[in-house]
C-alpha cells in the first residue's frame, strides 16, 4: 500500500514538473520551441508562468495538494474549510502567487475574497476551472474506491473554499476515485468503471451549472486512445482538438483520464501530458498521479525521483506517512 501511495504522490509531482515548461502554450508553440519534450526542463523565460520554476520543480498543483494534506493532518482528518483557506492563503503569499500569476482564475478570486473577508459563494458556485481537481489526488489515497459517497462528501469539504459547482466537485471526485481504484486494482478498465460511477454521486453535491457530462467526454477520449494506440502524436492531436486541454475542468479532467488510460505508466504519462500543450502541468499532475498509483513508486524512473527530491524543498516521505496514517483513521 505504501508504495502505491508513494507512486501517487511522486507521480503527481512528476506530471506537474514535467508539464511545467509548456504550461498554457498551444501545440504549435510547444512544437516550435521544444520540438518534443523528453525529460524534465527549466521553465522557459518566454513563458510568463513557467519562468518562475527550475527543472524538476512542481507548481501550484502539487503545492496546494501538500497544503491540504498539512491541514488534514492538523485537524485529525476532519476537513476544516477555514483552516484550509488560511493555509492556502499563507502558501499563496509565500509563493507570491497573486503577483506571479500562479493561481488559477477561481482560486485567485476566492482566496483574495477570503483574505478580504468577502463571501465567495457566488463565485465558487459558478466555477468551471480545474483548481479543485488539480490538487485532489492525495485524497484518493485515503479511501477505498467502493466508498464513493463518503469520498465525494470529503472531496466537497476540502474543495469548498474555492470550488462548489457541480462539475468542479464531480471532476475532483472522479480524479480522487481514480487514484483510489488505481491503488487497489491492476485492471485499468475497473478504474474507468469507478470513475464513471462517481460522476452522478458527486455532481449532485455542487451548485448546478450548464456543463457537459465528464463521463461522455472521457468516453470520447478512450475511443481516441484505442483508435490511435500505435500513434502517440496523433492521439494527442485528436485529444487536443476534440476533448480539449484548457483550464476548464470539462476539458482537463477528461483529457487527463484519457491519457492515463492510454499510458498506464507514470513515466510515459508525464511525457505525453507535457507534449499535449494547454494546461500541461495540471493535466500531468492528475494523470500521472493515477498512473503512479496504478504502478507504484518502484515503476517511476529513479532519475525522476532524484530530480524531484533535489529540486523541491519537501520531504515527500513525510507526506506519504501522513496519508498512510489518514487511511487508517478514516
Query: What CATH number should be reported for the domain holding residue 211?
Result: 1.10.4080.10
CA–CA gap between residue 292 and residue 11 (Å, rounded) = 5
CA–CA gap between residue 117 and residue 129 (Å, rounded) = 22
CA–CA gap between residue 66 and residue 154 (Å, rounded) = 16
Res 8: pLDDT: 98
Specify the DSSP class assigned to residue 41: -
Whether 67 is covered by a domain: the verdict is yes
Exposure pattern of 83-92 as b/e (b: 16+ CB <10 Å)?
bbbbbbbebb
Residue whose cell numbers read 479543485:
132
Exposed, middle or buried by CB within 10 Å (0-12, 13-18, 19+), for 76?
Answer: exposed
- For residues 275 and 236, is the Cβ–Cβ distance under 8 A? yes
The helix (H) or strand (E) run that includes residue 99 is none
CA–CA gap between residue 270 and residue 204 (Å, rounded) = 32
CA angle 64, 116, 58 (to 5 degrees): 15
Whether 292 is covered by a domain: the verdict is yes
Q: Which residues of the chain have pLDDT under 50?
A: none
Whether 152 is covered by a domain: the verdict is yes
Q: Which domain holds residue 98?
A: 2-43+59-329
- For residues 267 and 37, is the Cβ–Cβ distance under 8 A? no
Helix (H, G, I), strand (E, B) or coil at 265: coil
Please count the structural domains in the chain. Answer: 1
Helix (H, G, I), strand (E, B) or coil at 165: strand
Phi and psi at residue 28, in whole multiples of 5°?
A: -65, -45
- For residues 181 and 260, is the Cβ–Cβ distance under 8 A? no
**From the CA atom positions of the chain, what is the Rg in Å?**
18
Phi and psi at residue 108, in whole multiples of 5°?
A: -60, -45
CA–CA gap between residue 143 and residue 16 (Å, rounded) = 23
Cα-Cα end-to-end distance for the chain: 15
Q: Check residue 288 and give left, alpha or beta (phi > 0: left; psi -120 to 50: alpha).
A: alpha
* List of residues 6+ apart from 226 with CB closer than 8 A: none
Whether 51 is covered by a domain: the verdict is no
Res 97: pLDDT: 81
pLDDT tens track for 162-186? 999 999 999 999 999 999 999 999 9
C-alpha grid cell, residue 229: 494506440
Whether 52 is covered by a domain: the verdict is no
Whether this prediction's pTM lies above 0.75 is answered by yes
Res 328: pLDDT: 78
Res 113: pLDDT: 87
Res 94: pLDDT: 87
pLDDT tens track for 240-272? 999 999 999 999 999 999 999 999 999 999 999
Beta strands in 168-252 (DSSP E): none
* List of residues 6+ apart from 19 with CB closer than 8 A: 270, 273, 274, 280, 281, 282, 283, 284, 285
Exposed, middle or buried by CB within 10 Å (0-12, 13-18, 19+), for 194?
Answer: buried
Whether 97 is covered by a domain: the verdict is yes
CA–CA gap between residue 263 and residue 272 (Å, rounded) = 8
Whether 303 is covered by a domain: the verdict is yes
Amino acid at each position: 500500500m505504501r508504495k502505491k501511495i508513494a507512486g501517487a504522490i511522486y507521480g503527481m509531482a512528476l506530471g506537474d514538473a514535467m508539464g511545467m515548461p509548456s504550461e498554457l502554450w498551444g501545440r504549435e508553440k510547444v512544437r516550435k520551441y521544444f520540438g518534443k519534450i523528453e525529460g524534465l526542463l527549466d521553465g522557459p523565460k518566454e513563458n510568463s508562468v513557467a519562468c518562475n520554476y527550475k527543472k524538476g520543480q512542481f507548481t501550484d498543483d502539487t503545492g496546494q495538494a501538500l497544503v491540504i494534506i498539512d491541514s488534514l493532518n492538523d485537524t485529525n482528518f476532519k476537513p476544516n474549510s477555514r483552516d484550509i483557506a488560511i493555509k492556502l492563503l499563507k502558501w499563496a503569499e509565500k509563493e507570491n502567487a497573486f503577483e506571479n500569476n500562479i493561481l488559477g482564475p477561481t482560486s485567485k478570486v476566492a482566496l483574495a475574497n477570503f483574505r478580504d473577508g468577502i463571501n465567495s459563494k457566488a463565485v465558487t458556485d459558478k466555477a468551471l476551472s480545474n483548481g479543485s481537481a488539480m490538487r485532489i489526488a492525495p485524497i484518493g489515497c485515503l479511501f477505498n474506491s467502493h466508498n464513493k459517497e463518503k469520498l465525494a462528501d470529503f472531496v466537497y469539504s476540502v474543495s469548498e473554499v474555492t470550488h462548489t459547482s457541480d462539475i468542479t466537485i464531480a471532476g475532483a471526485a472522479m480524479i480522487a476515485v481514480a487514484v483510489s481504484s488505481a491503488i487497489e486494482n491492476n485492471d485499468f478498465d475497473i478504474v474507468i468503471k469507478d470513475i464513471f460511477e462517481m460522476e452522478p454521486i458527486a455532481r449532485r453535491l455542487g451548485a448546478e451549472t450548464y456543463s457537459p457530462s465528464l463521463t461522455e467526454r472521457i468516453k470520447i477520449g478512450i475511443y481516441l486512445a484505442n483508435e490511435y494506440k500505435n500513434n502517440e502524436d496523433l492521439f494527442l492531436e485528436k485529444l487536443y482538438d476534440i476533448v480539449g486541454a484548457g483550464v476548464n475542468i470539462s476539458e482537463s479532467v477528461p483529457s487527463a483520464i484519457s491519457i492515463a488510460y492510454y499510458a498506464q505508466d507514470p513515466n510515459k504519462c508525464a511525457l505525453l501530458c507535457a507534449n499535449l500543450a494547454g494546461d500541461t502541468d495540471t493535466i500531468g499532475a492528475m494523470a500521472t498521479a493515477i498512473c503512479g498509483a496504478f504502478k507504484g513508486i518502484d515503476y517511476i524512473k529513479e532519475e525522476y525521483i532524484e530530480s524531484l527530491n533535489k529540486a523541491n524543498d519537501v520531504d515527500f516521505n513525510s507526506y506519504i506517512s501522513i496519508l498512510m496514517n489518514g487511511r487508517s483513521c478514516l
